[in-house]
Amino acid sequence: MSKKLILIIGAPGAGKTTDSRLIAQRHNGDITAFSIGEILREEVKNGTAIGKIAQKYMQKGELVPSEVIMYEIFGKIKKAPTNIVLVDGLPRGLNQMRALGDTLHNDKEVKLVAVIEIRVKEETARKRVLGDNPTQEEIELFEPLSLSHTKTMLQQHHNNILQALKTLYLLLKLHGLIIVEKLLHIHY
């Protein structure tokens, strides 16, 4: 039987990882949750081959190559102790979207069954990412995302991914303050 994959997507600070963990916890071992960012940071920390590759890109602020991400996450999905797996942080761009599509097409052990987009206001995301008393360095890291040109480019990129998912009838949109797990009963 193939694993059922549910992607959780949204802006930084939308609550993707938090919601994924809550869903997994509340379903008493029937759902496994993975965060791409956490997986990569753990691999870097442990000094694995994947971690060394990822670290080179992460240090430069670049996306880790799609092939590396697909290899790592699909390995984790297949080894998951449950048949339903939530993954947040994927895809992070059109190249990853294409790589994900290719991987899903060629790998019959994993089936994408839904994509949940969590939306929050920019102010809410900013507060979640930076906290109540951000340092100047944290503010400077976050602020470029608020610049109109950069924000417009990122939004267009995000919209392209969403449009591709809509055509596959796999996209569910949620406001980030709603408990995501309430939707799971729709498909499962």
Task: Determine the pLDDT at residue 133.
Answer: 79
Question: How far apart are alpha carbons 30 and 187 in whole angstroms?
Answer: 14
* CA atoms of 145 and 154, how far apart (whole Å): 8
For the chain, residues with pLDDT lower than 50 are: 147-151, 153-154, 157, 169, 171-172, 174-175, 177-181, 183-188
Q: Given this model, what pLDDT does residue 156 score?
A: 55
Write down the pLDDT at residue 33: 95
Q: Could you tell me if 13 and 125 are in contact, meaning their C-beta atoms sit under 8 angstroms apart?
A: yes
pTM of structure:
0.72
Domains of the chain: 3-187 (3.40.50.300)
Q: Report the distance separating Cα 15 and Cα 21, nearest Å.
A: 10
How wide is the angle at C-alpha 17 spanned by C-alphas 11 and 22, nearest 5°?
Answer: 135
**Phi and psi at residue 30, in whole multiples of 5°?**
-90, -15
- Predicted pLDDT at 187: 44
Model pLDDT, residue 178? 45
Q: Which residue has the tokens 């029937």?
A: 30
